[in-house]
Amino acid sequence: MASIVIPLELVELIIEYLFDDTKTLATCSLVCSAWVARTRHWLFGTVHLDCWCSRAFIHLLLHPSSTILSHIHHLHIDCSTSPGHTTLDYPILFFDSFLSAFQRVPDQRAIRGIQSLRLSNLDLTTYPLETQSRMTSTLASLFPEITSLALDQVVLHDMRHLNSTVLRAFPCLGRLEARVKFLKYLEHTAAPVAISGENSLPAGLKEIELGHDGMATVLCYIANARSRSHCQEGSNVHHLSLKGCTPEMLPYVSGAVHALSASLKTLRISFFPEKVQYYDCNFP
């Protein structure tokens, strides 16, 4: 009986349909070499790490037969030290140690394929200043092609720490998602202090999504950037999304929108932190 040859295009459509079925994808990857690339794209395209599995992940990447790194495009690092499971057989690998270990991966060129980075539950202020500087430099050298950065429950010193240190470490950055707390402004939760800085936001940053934490501070910074005479070039933000906005923040929203009026195309606001309900505004 003649064998049936399935067109590769059809195979790829079937594999894409199985994008969230890791067990079936793993089985498909063993069928033939032509299926490996597409299955690994969905199996390893997004990698979630925490303090317990990071060490095993590094050991996997350091293995001479490992080939998965080139398939990773989205990396999520959860720095929480609270156990999310009952198995504590693996020693904790803290964020600074993880970055140092990641530098030992032989194929550094493959790391450049990672385009999206999410950092969760990270308090940078707990590290010495020298360690903070070293971590930022390591992030910049490891992930120079990052276009999307998400900071989820991250604690920073102030807006200068976010803008001048963190954001500018990624020259290709086009999208920022931030739910951050600023140690310097914690006593000004209701109304942030007048925030100024030496630089406007990176010119390549086109999309910003802000959560409730740190929203007023970032909006106030954007608004004040317009008034600084040495920042005439302003920002080029096209899309601004605000999640969990409160009525008290509306003056800061207004100031930020006014400062971004030359480039802003869409504004999305949610006043309900627990619900996905938005008010959309489109600008000509």
Is residue 118 predicted with pLDDT exceeding 90?
yes
Encode pLDDT of 171-198 as tens digits. 999 999 999 999 887 655 444 554 555 5
b/e map of 227-237 (b: 16 or more CB within 10 Å)?
eeeebeebbbb
Rounded mean pLDDT of the chain?
82
Shared-domain flag, residues 253 and 210: yes
Is residue 105 predicted with pLDDT exceeding 90?
no
SS3 178: strand
Q: Are 220 and 192 in contact (CB under 8 A)?
A: yes
Shared-domain flag, residues 7 and 100: no
Dihedral sign from CA coordinates of 211, 214, 217, 222: negative
Shared-domain flag, residues 189 and 283: yes
Tell me if 32 is assigned to some domain. yes
Tell me if 254 is assigned to some domain. yes
Please give the single-letter amino acid code of residue 192.
P
Work out the angle between the directed axes of helices 95-102 and 129-142 (0-180°, nearest 10).
40
Please give the single-letter amino acid code of residue 150.
A
Tell me if 276 is assigned to some domain. yes
Tell me if 60 is assigned to some domain. yes
Shared-domain flag, residues 25 and 55: no
Shared-domain flag, residues 37 and 54: no
Encode pLDDT of 121-139 as tens digits. 999 999 998 999 999 999 9
Shared-domain flag, residues 22 and 66: no
Shared-domain flag, residues 81 and 120: yes
What total of structural domains would you count in the chain? 3
Shared-domain flag, residues 92 and 200: no
DSSP letters for 242-275: EES--GGGHHHHHHHHHHTTTT--EEEEE--TTS
Domain span at 58: 45-143
Tell me if 165 is assigned to some domain. no
Alpha-carbon Rg for the chain in angstroms: 22
Average pLDDT over residues 4-14: 80
| Alpha carbon distance 203, 211 (integer Å) | 22
Shared-domain flag, residues 78 and 124: yes
Q: What is the structure's pLDDT at 231?
A: 45
Shared-domain flag, residues 36 and 59: no
Encode pLDDT of 14-43 as tens digits. 888 887 888 888 888 888 878 888 888 888
Q: What is the structure's pLDDT at 209?
A: 96
Is residue 230 predicted with pLDDT exceeding 50?
no
| Alpha carbon distance 32, 43 (integer Å) | 16
C-alpha dihedral, 41 to 43 to 46 to 52, nearest 10°:
-150
Confidence at 232, pLDDT banded by 50, 70, 90: very low
Average pLDDT over residues 215-219: 90
| Alpha carbon distance 154, 77 (integer Å) | 12
Tell me if 161 is assigned to some domain. no
Shared-domain flag, residues 12 and 53: no
Q: How many Å separate Cα 133 from the centre of its chain? A: 19
Return the H-helix or E-strand segment holding 89: none
Tell me if 21 is assigned to some domain. yes
Tell me if 160 is assigned to some domain. no
Shared-domain flag, residues 96 and 203: no
